[in-house]
């Protein structure tokens, strides 16, 4: 029989002590890289069927009897499982609703870092302002060289989005986006049953900041897309998308730029890398309608 004691933040020392059935305690000897020796304690909960908190969470807090979980942005493929509790504030945040510019208007405006002064002048923006810097960053992101095994493009109009997507994937296209049963302000969701592997022949599109809608779309080798059913604490049902990059050996990106901690950085160039949940702007119905129309015409 063991009693676990957890120290809480308080002006005076406060310990939360509890004993749970079918719980074992292990004394674990450790040796550090510098030779430091330590004895740690590991607590094993063998029965969690009635537990309110996901037994596999690494970091959770309790505040006024409400569980708050650190934001889930990147995680390993093995963690994409039924019953996993995830925090997805970006999923419920108001999406960028900037519409596409009309195709002829988009074609008439340069989209090149070499033409930046002309672009800023067109949108009546002064150099060195936040908006000007944002435009510059978006254009440079679109102009960056493709990494090994990557195909990429930026679409500045709905027509170019559809045409370029068809050129990469063919006419048999299924558009996937976030789906909600209702609006919610609670970012906590549990992964439900019914996750679907949508395959590895895909384009992942990210909406960029720009005066008109711009999508950076890319396809990477050995990248899979999963459709993930979620259930919120308030009963909200959603279908999210998770993207799994299984081989990033050709990437030159720093792990910390993706929120990977020092303890995880050794796994950065290994298979089954973290999977990001992406919030896709709700253009699904518009794009599906337009794409269906164009495919039927062709």
Tens digits of residue pLDDT in 195-238: 998 888 888 888 899 999 999 998 888 888 888 999 998 899 99
Q: Are residues 33 and 89 in the same domain?
A: no
Within a domain: 66: no
Q: Beta-strand (E) ranges in the chain? A: 4-8, 14-18, 23-31, 37-45, 60-63, 66-69, 85-87, 150-155, 179-180, 188-191, 196-197, 204-208, 214-220, 223-232, 237-245
Range of the domain at 123: 71-297
What is the tens place of the pLDDT at every residue in 32-51?
Answer: 767 788 888 787 877 665 44
Give residue-wise pLDDT tens across range 112-140: 999 999 999 999 999 999 999 999 999 99
Identify whether 198 is part of a domain: yes
- Verify that 129 and 251 share a domain, yes or no: yes
* b/e code 45-62 from CB counts within 10 Å (16+ = b): eeeeeeeeebeebeeeee
pLDDT at 176 over 70: yes
Number of domains comprising the chain: 2
- Is 63 among the domain residues? no
User: Do residues 202 and 177 touch, judged by C-beta distance below 8 A?
Assistant: no
My answer on whether 98 and 142 are in the same domain is yes
In a domain, 59, yes or no: no
Residue 81 and residue 7 share a domain: no
* 57 domain-assigned: no
The whole-number pLDDT of residue 69 equals 60
User: 175 with 206, same domain?
Assistant: yes
Q: Which of 298 and 4 is assigned the larger pLDDT? A: 4
Residue-wise pLDDT for 237-254, tens only, equals: 998 888 887 776 766 555
Please check whether residues 134 and 16 belong to one and the same domain.
no
pTM equals 0.64
pLDDT at residue number 295: 53
- Specify if 56 maps to a domain: no
pLDDT for the residue 158: 93
């Amino acid at each position: 029989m063991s009693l676990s004691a957890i120290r809480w933040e308080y002006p005076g020392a406060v310990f939360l002590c509890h004993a749970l059935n079918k719980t074992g305690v292990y004394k674990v000897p450790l040796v550090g890289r510098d030779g430091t020796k330590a004895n740690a304690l590991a607590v094993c909960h063998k029965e969690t069927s009635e537990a309110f908190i996901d037994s596999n969470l690494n970091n959770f807090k309790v505040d006024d009897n409400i569980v708050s979980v650190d934001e889930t942005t990147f995680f390993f493929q093995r963690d994409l499982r039924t019953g996993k509790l995830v925090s997805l504030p970006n999923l419920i945040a108001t999406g960028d609703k900037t519409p596409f510019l009309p195709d002829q208007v988009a074609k008439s405006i340069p989209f090149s870092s070499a033409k930046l002064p002309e672009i800023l002048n067109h949108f009546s923006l002064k150099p060195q302002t936040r908006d000007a810097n944002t435009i510059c960053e978006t254009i440079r992101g679109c102009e960056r060289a493709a990494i090994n095994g990557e195909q990429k493009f930026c679409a500045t109009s709905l027509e170019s989005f559809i045409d370029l997507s068809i050129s990469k994937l063919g006419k048999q296209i299924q558009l996937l986006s976030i789906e909600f049963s209702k609006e919610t302000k609670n970012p906590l969701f549990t992964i439900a049953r019914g996750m679907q592997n949508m395959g590895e022949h895909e384009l992942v599109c990210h909406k960029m900041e720009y005066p008109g809608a711009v999508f950076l779309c890319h396809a990477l080798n050995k990248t899979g897309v999963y459709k993930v059913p979620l259930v919120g604490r308030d009963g909200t049902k959603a279908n999210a998308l998770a993207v799994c990059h299984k081989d990033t050996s050709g990437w030159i990106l720093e792990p910390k730029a993706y929120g990977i901690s020092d303890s995880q950085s050794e796994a950065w160039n290994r298979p089954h890398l973290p999977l990001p949940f992406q919030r896709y702007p709700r253009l699904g119905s518009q794009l599906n309608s337009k794409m269906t129309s164009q495919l039927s015409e062709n």
